[in-house]
Amino acid sequence: MAEKFQPAYLNLLESGELKQRVAQAHARLSDCDVCAHACNIDRRAGKLGNCRTGERARVSSHGPHMGEEDPLRGTRGSGTIFMTRCNLRCQYCQNHDISQTDSGYEVEPDDLAAIMLELQKRGCHNINFVSPSHVVPQIMAGVLVAAQAGLRIPLVYNTGGYDSLTTLKLLDGIVDIYMPDMKYADPALAERYSKIKDYPQANQAAVREMHRQVGDLQLDGSGVATRGLLIRHLILPDNLAGTDQIIKFLAEEISNTTYLNLMDQYRPAYRAHHYPELTRRITQAEFDAAVKMAREVGLTRLDKRRAFILSF
């Protein structure tokens, strides 16, 4: 008989360490190094850094999401909570109305916990925090309240991939499923398109730490994820994202059984029209080449749900 799943954070709740971690994380807002920017400003005093977010997190929207990867959405949806703002400045962001504005509403830990418990009650397979990197202390505080009140489903950390190693270590034993983007292999292009020069270095270090904590993606008998690492990579036109290098990194330095979603849905959005090389969608041939590269280096756990791709 299979052992009943228990999310990682319950062990820390029972030992009392979850409460201690929440206090440690919140204290870091006073000289903020919560994400990889390390702005070192006092968010508890109302100062704003790169994320333009103070002491309280903001939620843009929440609900069951049937558009996520199959292991997350299952049959009842992934319980997504879209956090307002982001620590990236992606010039082609398809969610720029959320990531680059103050949409939504401020939440206290009790409010965030109530959202989690509502999503669990609605049958969602997990709680999926979208763009959490800049509001980890606030999320942790909400998880503490929710876990005390009966939250029992996995937590998904759905990140743009520019994360602090110190913060990730605070999340060790709290997050069940890490789902980072790996956006770029070239620092010059990372700076050009997302305004972050050291993105590849920070991103690769973060992915290593995430895999150390949770390992490869694990599925239950129904094919729903319970723990592990799931990588997203958005293919850009003309291999601008360095897809070949990212695939090689995953196969050689993380695991050849990494679950990888090679995403084909790039479309020009937001400020992409300022960059001539980003003003078209990818072709079927570009997508097929990326899949072939992944298979050639031994990555076979590729997400199978694909969107329609325009041909040129």
**Cβ atoms 294, 262 nearer than 8 A:** yes
**pLDDT band, very low/low/confident/very high, at 311 (cuts 50, 70, 90):** very low
Q: What is the pLDDT of residues 169-203, one digit of tens each?
A: 999 999 999 999 999 999 999 999 999 999 999 99
Query: Which residues face 105 on adjacent strands?
Result: 59
> Which are the contacts of 55, defined by CB distance < 8 A and separation ≥ 6?
29, 43, 44, 46
In angstroms, rounded to a whole number, what is the distance separating the alpha carbons of residues 246 and 285?
Answer: 19
**pLDDT band, very low/low/confident/very high, at 3 (cuts 50, 70, 90):** low
User: Among positive and negative, which fits the CA dihedral 167, 168, 171, 176?
Assistant: positive
High-pLDDT (> 70) share of the chain, %: 96
In angstroms, rounded to a whole number, what is the distance separating the alpha carbons of residues 171 and 22?
Answer: 10
Determine the topology of domain 9-235+248-254 in CATH: TIM Barrel (3.20.20)
Q: Which residue has the tokens 């319980």?
A: 79
**Cβ atoms 231, 250 nearer than 8 A:** yes
Average pLDDT over residues 21-43: 98
pLDDT at 155 over 90: yes
Predicted structure pTM score: 0.96
**pLDDT band, very low/low/confident/very high, at 219 (cuts 50, 70, 90):** very high
Q: Which amino acid is at 258?
A: T
| pLDDT for the residue 297 | 97
Q: Which amino acid is at 166?
A: T
Q: What is the pLDDT of residues 273-305, one digit of tens each?
A: 999 999 999 999 999 999 999 999 999 999 986
In angstroms, rounded to a whole number, what is the distance separating the alpha carbons of residues 122 and 76?
Answer: 8
Q: Where are the domains of the chain?
A: 9-235+248-254
In angstroms, rounded to a whole number, what is the distance separating the alpha carbons of residues 187 and 59?
Answer: 30
Q: What is the pLDDT of residues 239-282, one digit of tens each?
A: 999 999 999 999 999 999 999 999 999 999 999 999 999 999 99
Q: What is the pLDDT of residues 69-96, one digit of tens each?
A: 999 999 999 999 999 999 999 999 999 9
**Cβ atoms 302, 260 nearer than 8 A:** yes
In angstroms, rounded to a whole number, what is the distance separating the alpha carbons of residues 68 and 56?
Answer: 27
